[in-house]
Amino acid sequence: MSQVPLANWNGKLAPLDQINVPVLDRGFLFGDGVYEAMRIYAGQVFLLDEHWARLARSLRELSLEADLDRLRRRLTDTLVHSGVQDGLIYLQITRGAGPRRTHAFPRPAGPPNELIWIEGYASADPMAENRERGVEAVTFPDWRWGRRDIKSINLLANCLAAEHAKKAGAFEAILIDPTGHFTEGSHTSLFGIRDGVLFTYPSGPEILPGCTRAFLLRLAGQIGLTVETTPLSENDLPNIDELFLTGTTSEVIGIVKVDGKLISTGRVGPITRRLSDAYHQEVRRWLTTCSTMT
């Protein structure tokens, strides 16, 4: 990562470590806000329209108003000034600062607080080693709130799961709902493969509608995979041929071990590799399209 990411706070550019958030900001007090994280390849924002549509939906679901056209112009301007070619964009919108700490929304509504920051990667492919070797995961209870389809900044339950994984020396925590089924990772989407069929949790309020997840499902259709929106559980692991994660920063990464137990052969499986290759081929094709439009 670059030493000091460039930030845009309500339209003003500054190094991220110089940004100050008001104490009465409702994001700071209540987690009253939404966010998006977007991948930059060769100076272009991947799946920007998809992320923007999800952002708009999250805002609607929380009755949080923002000028998304203006915000998109700010994002573009910040990216140009950053000079980042490969990296990450983090964007967050909160309901702004209220007159005091009251739980109900301020009336009349004040202006939202809008943050963008852009952070460069040290290499163009920071996940290459994980993708080649595969990663380990651990299981953890899914303690998140009931509207996981909203990309809210309320992430304490995710942080607890991620901390559990870190202490265990694992890459990710796989979340388990009260019925014993896997939902997703603490910051990724989860897929399994059995007998050539791709399994993933059905869309709904129980999981985040991942942009990379939706992109992967399109790729699966293109290469002829059958998809079943059926949740998996720990009882399925002995019969699973492959298990993998997707995400904005993770891309497509195979899981080779869960809670210390091997998944199949303990190596990244052929379908996972095929989907990962298809992902990167599509990124390269998209970049070619971007270059012809400039």
Buried b (16+ CB within 10 A) or exposed e, 142-177: bebeeebbbbbebbebbeebbebbeebebbbbbbbb
DSSP for residue 275 = H
Task: Please report the pLDDT score of residue 2 as a whole number.
Answer: 45
**What integer best gives the mean pLDDT of the chain?**
96
List of residues 6+ apart from 201 with CB closer than 8 A: 181, 182, 183, 184, 190, 207, 229, 231, 232
Supply φ then ψ for residue 191, to 5 degrees.
-135, 150
151, 166, 167, 261: which is the annotated catalytic residue?
151
Q: Domain residue spans in the chain?
A: 6-120, 128-284
The pLDDT of 33-62, averaged and rounded, is 98
- 167 assigned to active site: no
Fold of the CATH domain 128-284 = D-amino Acid Aminotransferase; Chain A, domain 2 (3.20.10)
The pLDDT of 65-81, averaged and rounded, is 98
**Cβ distance 185 to 135 under 8 Å?**
no
**DSSP element (H, E) containing 69:** helix 68-82
Mention the CATH class of domain 6-120: alpha beta
| Residue 169 tokens, joined | 């020396």
**pTM (predicted TM-score):** 0.95
**Cβ distance 14 to 20 under 8 Å?**
no
Is the model's pLDDT at 160 over the cut of 50?
yes
Q: Assign 67 a pLDDT band (cuts: 50, 70, 90).
A: very high
Is the model's pLDDT at 293 over the cut of 60?
no
Supply φ then ψ for residue 243, to 5 degrees.
-140, 135
Q: Assign 1 a pLDDT band (cuts: 50, 70, 90).
A: very low
Q: Please state which of the ranges 11-25, 147-161, 279-293 shows the lowest mean pLDDT.
A: 279-293
